[in-house]
Amino acid sequence: EVQLVESGGGLIQPGGSLRLSCAASGFTVSGNYMNWVRQAPGKGLEWVSTFYTGGNTYYAGSVEGRFTISGDNSKNSVYLQMNGVRAEDTAIYYCTKGRGANSIWDYWGQGILVTVSS
Amino acid sequence: EIVLTQSPATLSLSPGERATLTCRASQSVNSYLVWYQQKPGQAPRLLIYDASNRATGIPARFSGSGSGTDFTLTITSLEPEDFAVYYCQQRRDWPLTFGGGTKVEIK
């Protein structure tokens, strides 16, 4: 059974740093696009970043230069390092699995809340 | 950036009725259009990929159509569990983008 479990969220002050983790099971992260998608409270969905084996990474303009996505095949996990966070980064962050090397997200984690506030 | 516009924002219907949701892209996305369903407090669920292909386990009452810039998600006869928010997403180009969503609510 495919599972994605996010961790590392919480309350953080503006300008601070946080690392989200996504532990995958039931499949291997290598060979699949792994992604972060977020949803601000009461708002719609926003794609954040994509990681693919070999170091290919993609970012939304709103987070480029501040967030870094990475993966660890040995831990079958994906990470999102969030630096210089802003109030507008407050959201539920979902880890998602692509169907192979494409952006059709067939599995989603339960989501983790990140709140940026002083 | 490809902008996706969903309409209507809210659709008020009764169980058993037909729902027609639209998604319009600011430029062609070919058939690289995906639909998700989200219920309150839950993660989104994949419904339709590449405009017209139902994902695994999705009932036949859900269907998608369209290509280029205009797409439609149709639910032929609404079941109580179908009342939710529906999002379209394009995977034609980076950055990947979503529409603003259509809420299907009980009339």
Q: Which two tokens stand for residue B29?
A: 């996305």
Q: Within an 8 Å CB–CB cutoff, is residue A61 touching chain B? A: yes
Identify the pLDDT of residue A100.
Answer: 87
pLDDT in single tens digits along all 107 residues of chain B:
999 999 999 999 999 999 999 999 999 999 999 999 999 999 999 999 999 999 999 999 999 999 999 999 999 999 999 999 999 999 999 999 999 999 999 99
Chain A closest-CA separation from residue B46 CA (Å): 6
- Is the N-terminal amide bond of B40 cis, ω within 30° of 0? no
- Cross-chain CB nearest to B49 (options A104, A109, A111): A104
Contacts of A59 in chain B (CB under 8 A): 95
pLDDT in tens, A59-88: 999 999 999 999 999 999 999 999 999 999
Give the chain B residue nearest A61 (alpha carbons): B95
pLDDT at A55 over 90: no
Comparing alpha-carbon positions, the chain A residue that sits nearest to B85 is A44
The answer to whether A49 and A35 are in contact (CB under 8 A) is yes
A108 touching B, CB under 8 A? yes
pLDDT, residue B53, reads 97
CB contact under 8 A, A102 and B91: yes
Q: Which residues of B touch A (CB under 8 A)?
A: 1, 34, 36, 38, 43-46, 49-50, 55-56, 87, 89, 91, 94-101
Could you give the C-alpha distances from A68 to A49, A64, A96, A113, B29, in angstroms and in order? 8, 8, 16, 18, 27
Query: For residues A8 and A20, is the Cβ–Cβ distance under 8 A?
Result: yes
Residues of B in contact with A67 (CB under 8 A): none
∠ CA A61-A29-B62, rounded to 5°: 75
Model confidence pLDDT, tens digit, residues A38-49:
999 999 999 999
Rounded to the nearest 10 degrees, how much is the dihedral formed by the CA atoms of B3, B31, B38, A101? -100
**CB pair distance less than 8 Å for B87 and A44:** yes
Return the sign of the alpha-carbon dihedral for residues A101, A104, A109, A113.
positive
* pLDDT for residue B40: 95
Question: A49 near A81, Cβ under 8 Å?
Answer: no
Q: What is the pLDDT of residue A9?
A: 96
CA angle B31, B69, A47 (to 5 degrees): 70
Residue B97 confidence (pLDDT): 98
For residue A31, the model assigns a pLDDT of: 86
What pLDDT was estimated at residue A54?
A: 77
